[in-house]
C-alpha cells in the first residue's frame, strides 16, 4: 500500500507517495531523477549509494524510503552551494581522484559524513570510515590524497 512520505531532500521539502518499503536509492533515481547516487551491489556493501540521513552516512540501497519520513537527506547533488562545490568535492576534483567515477559520489558523501560526525577526526579515523567503500578501479591512492587535501583546508571541509 502506498504511503505519503515527507522529508527534506538537499535542503528542500519533498513528498512522495509510494510503497514505504522501496529503497531510498530507487526513489531517488527513478522517481526524483537524482542519478548521482549510484547502484552498486544492492546489499549496502560497496557504498556507491551513500547519502547522508540527518548528517550520518547511510547506504541508500538498504535504507527504505519509509525510514526517511520526516528526516533530512542529502545526496551528492546537494553538497554544492549554488555554483560553489563543497570543499571535499573540490579536493577530489583537484586531485583527479577518480577513474570511471562510478563510486566517487559515494566516496565524497562518505567523507563529508565522517567529518560531519566528527569535525575533529584525525586522518586515520576518516580513512577507517572510508574502508567501507569499494572502488573497482582501485583509485584508493588518489582518494586518500584527496581526503588529505580536504582535511588540510583549515576545517573548510567540515562544513
CATH code of residue 39 = 3.10.20.30
pLDDT, tens only, 81-136:
999 999 999 999 999 888 888 889 999 999 999 999 888 888 888 888 888 888 88
pTM attached to this predicted model: 0.90
DSSP the chain: --EEEEEEETTEEEEEEE-TTSBHHHIIIIIS--TTSPPS-SSSSS-TTEEEETTEEEETTSSBGGGGTT-EEE-GGGTSBTTBPPHHHHHHHHTT--SS-TTHHHHHHHHHHHHHH-TT--HHHHHHHHTT---TT--HHHHHHHHHHHHTTTTGGG-
Confidence category of residue 158, pLDDT binned at 50, 70, 90: very low
Domain around 63: 3-78
Instruction: Say whether both 15 and 70 belong to one domain.
Output: yes
Same domain, residue pair 105 and 63: no
Residue at a domain's end among 29, 53, 78 = 78
Total of domains in the chain:
2
Q: Single out the residue in 47, 78, 109 at which a domain terminates.
A: 78
Domain boundary among 37, 55, 78: 78
Amino acid at each position: 500500500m502506498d504511503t505519503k512520505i515527507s522529508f527534506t531532500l538537499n535542503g528542500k521539502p519533498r513528498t512522495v507517495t509510494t510503497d514505504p518499503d522501496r529503497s531510498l536509492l530507487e526513489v531517488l533515481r527513478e522517481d526524483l531523477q537524482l542519478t548521482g547516487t549510484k547502484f552498486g551491489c544492492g546489499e549496502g556493501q560497496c557504498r556507491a549509494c551513500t547519502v547522508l540521513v540527518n548528517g550520518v552516512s547511510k547506504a541508500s540501497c538498504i535504507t527504505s524510503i519509509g525510514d526517511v519520513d520526516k528526516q533530512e537527506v542529502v545526496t551528492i547533488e546537494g553538497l554544492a552551494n549554488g555554483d560553489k562545490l563543497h570543499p571535499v568535492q573540490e579536493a577530489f576534483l583537484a586531485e583527479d581522484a577518480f577513474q570511471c567515477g562510478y563510486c566517487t559520489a559515494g566516496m565524497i558523501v562518505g567523507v563529508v559524513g565522517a567529518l560531519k560526525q566528527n569535525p575533529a577526526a584525525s586522518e586515520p579515523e576518516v580513512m577507517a570510515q572510508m574502508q567501507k567503500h569499494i572502488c573497482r578501479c582501485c583509485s584508493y591512492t588518489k582518494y586518500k590524497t584527496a581526503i588529505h587535501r580536504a582535511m588540510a583546508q583549515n576545517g573548510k571541509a567540515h562544513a
